Structure 1
């Protein structure tokens, strides 16, 4: 068999990521139509991913978000999307490069796509990677200040949320409005 020098596998992955980008762009413009909602699994260690250290600690390798009832500030960029979600009552802003996406699933119509993260011809712009790195440094500094007791506000929501979590596949995500589900858990459902 001849060697695939065109890398059809990478071309198809990038085209399908482009479909996810178009779907999210449409939702950003018009909102979620009908019963549509999405489970988006992504590699939390992928270059360009920006999540809080709290979420990174909780999901060191992979995370699945649910975009259904409660999400905000959905912004679609050329290489990544950004969305606001609530986890255990704590608002978070996530930045996810399309190249980090491992799975996209719309259970309302049983539509699913699966990807190999990092298997892409797309290069993330250096500015995006640098911006994510700078934000991570700033967040770390803010956490260090907070952990030293300098913060005037003590919010027990994060601790309460962590106490409520178990090691199961499904965890509360958005004030009762959605769930964070492991990719394996939603694969078992399909």
Structure 2
């Protein structure tokens, strides 16, 4: 008897699972943004693709990390704002406060070492395959550097 080939996954279960697990990241960040902050010894290492669509931050900072960047939310973070599709946070780099906005889809790793909890995600397909688009006018670097990272304004993704 001939075997039939396996059915094609038209439900895209892997993508659905990735999206659901990113919901864990969003929920953890919402707890961390509460007035009491992170409970106990919890703290987060969050790795994200710096060139993924929707990632924004200072060009000088993102330029130092042309592929991925890991941030730590532990003692010194401010204005953590977890939204529905992205989160924003202010961290100090070189003693200077800098604001980052990261879509959950750009996150590739979420780790809480206090309880050895790790989630790893596939890299965003759009960031891996898409060619860089010209940056928005308000986010354009002062100099024309072809190696400068492209920053996309989150205003294009916000509901109006």
Quote the residue 1:71 is aligned against: 77
Partner-residue secondary structure (3-state), 1:21: helix
Matches within 5 A, 1:18-167: 18-29=23-34, 30-118=36-124, 133-137=136-140, 140-141=141-142
Structure richer in helix, relative to its length: 1
Shift of residue 117 of structure 1? 2.8
Unpaired runs of at least 5, structure 1: 121-131, 145-190
Structure 2 gap ranges (5+): 1-5, 127-134, 144-160
SS in 1 for 2:81: strand
**CA-to-partner distance for each residue in 1:158-189, whole Å, 9 max, x for gaps?**
xxxxxxxxxxxxxxxxxxxxxxxxxxxxxxxx
Cα distance in 1, alignment partners of residues 102 and 16 from structure 2 = 20
* TM-score normalised by L of structure 2: 0.76
CA offset digits 1:79-122 (Å, max 9, x no partner) = 100000001111100000000000000000000000013259xx
Shift in alpha-carbon separation, 1:81–1:134, aligned structure 2, 3 A: farther
Whether the 8 Å contact between 1:13 and 1:119 is mirrored in structure 2 is no
Aligned residues: 129
